[in-house]
Amino acid sequence: MSEQLDPTKYHTLTPKLKQKLILIGLPLLIIVLPLLSYTYYSFAVNRPNQIGKEVTVEIKEGEGVLDVSRKLSSLGATNSEFLFNVYVFLNNKDKNIQAGKYVIPSGATLVDLVDMLEHGTDDVKLTFLEGWRIEEIAGYAAVNLDNIDYEDFVSLASHLEGTLFPDTYWVNSNITETEMIDLLRNTFNEKTGKALTEKDLENVQLTKNEVFVLASIVEREVSKKEDRAKVAGILVKRYKSDELLGADATTQYAVAKGKVGCINVSVSVVCPSYNLSIEMDWWPKILERDDLNFDSPYNTRKNKGLPPTPIASFGLNALESILNYEKTPYNYYLTDKNGVTHYSVNYEEHLQKVNSFLD
């Protein structure tokens, strides 16, 4: 005969307790499951394929998404046939896949793959980096696009320094210099137009051009995001106090052309030439005493105030560092050979750090 359990000694799930558990558990389930699904989805679509080599695939006219995904999966170009279909349909890209022959690199993510198929075989993917000056942008475009002439690009864009937005673009392989410049310029206007408002300018008490120039200097001076607002604060403080900014990046910008003989050259002549431009160091790290005294309105080691234009393209992070600059007691900074930025309140302290970290 089985022993009867004493209900006073054991916990039992009463109907009321069951109801409470359901009321608590159901909302948690509703929140947690979608969150986990989204986390997995975000990871999976950005996970490189595992094929280990590049593969070639031909998408024929009239093939549907299911046919394409099956073909890609069989080649190992995508990690999941199902996920490819989900991503394409969720992002309304099912009508955008173009026929053609594609070479898919090893390590391509699902996002990369769909971008490639969406833009077709006549499109080229270009990535313009933050901190490039006009000549670097022109050189990169000329190397990757047959129709882009370096000298024509530089001539057309010479007055747009710092306002060609650095980003990744898919462009037609036959794009012209004017079209490329317009694309970069329009993207700059769109991105900065959203990030920079009249209220922002009022808050920092700077003009739009001053913000752009300072952002370009920050872009070149310091690469770590956590340092940028602090460095921006020092630069803004020095500028508003009518002190020398002393930013090496502006001196580098000023002297680069001089180091290859492009001094007193007619403004109608693009100097240096394309071949020299793509080989030269546009941002010389070693600055001699003559460089620091170089006579140029861009050289903030010699002249007070800001350069007349930005010195390079800049991203939104550099722009935001000016709009949200950090107020600190520091007046000087330097970045050592390991990329660590050190701050000083006065010049004596700064000199000690120069001797410690740069000599």
Residue 109 is predicted with a pLDDT of: 92
CA distances to 114, 155, 166, 177 from 142, in Å: 26, 13, 16, 9
For residues 262-268, average pLDDT: 72
pLDDT for 11 beyond 60: no
Select the highest-mean-pLDDT range: 52-56, 98-102, 129-133.
129-133
Residue 330 is predicted with a pLDDT of: 96
Residue 62 is predicted with a pLDDT of: 87
Q: In this prediction, what percent of the chain has a pLDDT beyond 70?
A: 92
3-state secondary structure the chain: CCCCCCCCCCCCCCHHHHHHHHHHHHHHHHHHHHHHHHHHHHHHHCCCCCCCCCEEEEECCCCCHHHHHHHHHHHCCCCCHHHHHHHHHHCCCCCCCCCEEEEECCCCCHHHHHHHHHHCCCEEEEECCCCCCHHHHHHHHHHHCCCCCHHHHHHHHHHHCCCCCCCEEEEECCCCHHHHHHHHHHHHHHHHHHHCCHHHHHHHCCCHHHHHHHHHHHHHHCCCHHHHHHHHHHHHHHHHCCCCCCCHHHHHHHHCCHHHCCCCCCCCCCCCCHHHHCCCCCCCCCCCHHHHCCCCCCCCCCCCCCCCCCCCCCCHHHHHHHHCCCCCCCCEEEECCCCCEEEECCHHHHHHHHHHHCC
pLDDT tens figures, 163-193: 999 999 888 888 999 999 999 999 999 999 9
pLDDT for 210 beyond 60: yes
Residue 43 is predicted with a pLDDT of: 87
For residues 83-108, average pLDDT: 88
Residue 52 is predicted with a pLDDT of: 85
- Cα separation, 172 vs 179, in Å, equals 10
pLDDT tens figures, 103-136: 888 888 999 999 889 887 777 889 999 999 999 9
* Residue 100 backbone zone (phi > 0: left; psi -120 to 50: alpha; other: beta): left
Out of 33-42, 126-135, 224-233, which region has the weakest mean confidence (pLDDT)?
A: 33-42
For residues 223-250, average pLDDT: 96
